Amino acid sequence: MTTTARAHTNIALIKYWGKRDEKLILPYTSSVSLTLDDFYTDTTVQFDPHLMADQFTLNGRPQSPDKISAFLDIVRAQAHSAQFAHVASVNHVPTAAGLASSASAYAALALAASREAGLQLAPRDLSRLARRGSGSASRSVFGGLAIWHRGDSDLTSFAEALPETKLPLRMVVVMVDAGQKKVSSRRLMANTVATSPYYPAWVKDNERAAGDMVKALAAADFTRIGELTEQSSARMHAAIFASDPAFTYFQPATLTVWHAVQTLRAQGVPAYATMDAGPNVKILTLAPAVAAVKAALPEFKDRLLVAGPGRAAKVLEEAQ
Ligand code: 2P0
């Protein structure tokens, strides 16, 4: 048997940054995200009694299986299996976009591997499993809007879908620097937790913001949704900046885009900026305003991608 699953990447409106349990990946705060339609990972898993070790290819190229083996060990334990697996992943994310997150990767792997191992996990349990690979992957199990409840144990820390909104949400991804070497978010978030004096304040504020975001989404209050989105990102980056050693993902062009977004808002265009573990800026807006957002960023016109809400993770194929 082989099983192929697809999961889409997501962008957090209310951010996840920092773990209180590194092994179980339990976060300090809840987070809220929008799964995107255009960017996804397809992963095929085949358990094979003849294999002596896991094998992993990414976009057709052999990779070290260490990380995924640790993840597959969790699946094997749940399925009472000792078999190793062939794993083949293909990322459908423009390589320059800086969106090739572990979110879609581990959500697709969790679904393909669990199903292939004979487990039929409920969405909540699939989310808990994906979380063990990468925190943000817990949210990519779901389409559209999702909330990852921070919980206080492996059982209580999971994501779930939020009600669909009638707002035509769009993300304009501005590729500020495609060539930037990635600074590991896992290492940096641990250092923020350990050294930033602003981190406890961020945790308190961000947990409050997650609750406020759920209310703003239910009320379809785009202004409030945008304000909360921009604040969660800005405050996360402020906490990162205050770490020891001081660090920022911001580049000069990152600020250029932030200022352009502020100018757009002053002109009445609904647009709010958010950033993750890199210099690229994602602009949360509404479909009718996408043209105005694009027009405000002429120097980035060849480096813009527009995405809308994406679907939940799903099995594409189960073959003998
Ligand atoms: C997020 N990020 O909420 C935040 C905002 C980046 C900035 O989740 O260590 O790859 O694997 O749990 O999920 C990126 O971190 O980290 C991330 P791990 P992950 O989307």
| DSSP string over 122-137 | -HHHHHHHHHHH-TTH
Burial class (CB in 10 A: 0-12, 13-18, 19+), 231: middle
Whole-number Å distance, alpha carbon 225 to ligand 1 midpoint, is: 20
Predicted confidence band at 72 (pLDDT cuts at 50, 70, 90)? very high
Whole-number Å distance, alpha carbon 224 to ligand 1 midpoint, is: 23
| Nearest ligand 1 atom, CA 15 | 3
For residue 56, give Cα distances in angstroms to 84, 88, 232, 275, 293: 11, 6, 35, 30, 40
Average pLDDT of the chain, as a whole number: 95
Whole-number Å distance, alpha carbon 144 to ligand 1 midpoint, is: 18
- The pLDDT tens digits of the residues spanning 83-118 come to 999 999 999 987 666 676 799 999 999 999 999 999
Residue that wins the pLDDT comparison between 145 and 178: 145
Rg (Cα) of the chain, in Å, rounded? 19
Q: What is the mean pLDDT of the segment spanning 221-230?
A: 98
CA pair distance 109, 3, nearest whole angstrom = 10
Q: What is the mean pLDDT of the segment spanning 52-64?
A: 96
Pocket lining for ligand 1, CB < 6 angstroms: 12, 15-17, 25, 31, 101-102, 134-136, 185-186, 276-277
- pTM to 2 decimals? 0.97
Whole-number Å distance, alpha carbon 223 to ligand 1 midpoint, is: 25
Is the pLDDT reported for residue 285 higher than 90?
yes
- The pLDDT tens digits of the residues spanning 241-282 come to 999 999 999 999 999 999 999 999 999 999 999 999 999 999
Residue that wins the pLDDT comparison between 256 and 185: 256
Q: Which of 14, 33, 136 to mutate to test the pocket of ligand 1 (most atoms within 8 A of CB)?
A: 136
Task: Please name each of the domains of the chain with its CATH number.
Answer: 2-165 (3.30.230.10), 170-307 (3.30.70.890)
Is the pLDDT reported for residue 183 higher than 80?
no
Question: What pLDDT does 180 receive?
Answer: 60
Question: What pLDDT does 99 receive?
Answer: 75
- The pLDDT tens digits of the residues spanning 110-164 come to 999 999 999 999 999 999 999 999 999 999 999 999 999 999 999 999 999 999 9
Can you read off the two tokens belonging to residue 18?
Answer: 């920092």
Atom 17 (ligand 1) nearest CA: 136
Q: Which of 9, 11, 16 to mutate to test the pocket of ligand 1 (most atoms within 8 A of CB)?
A: 16
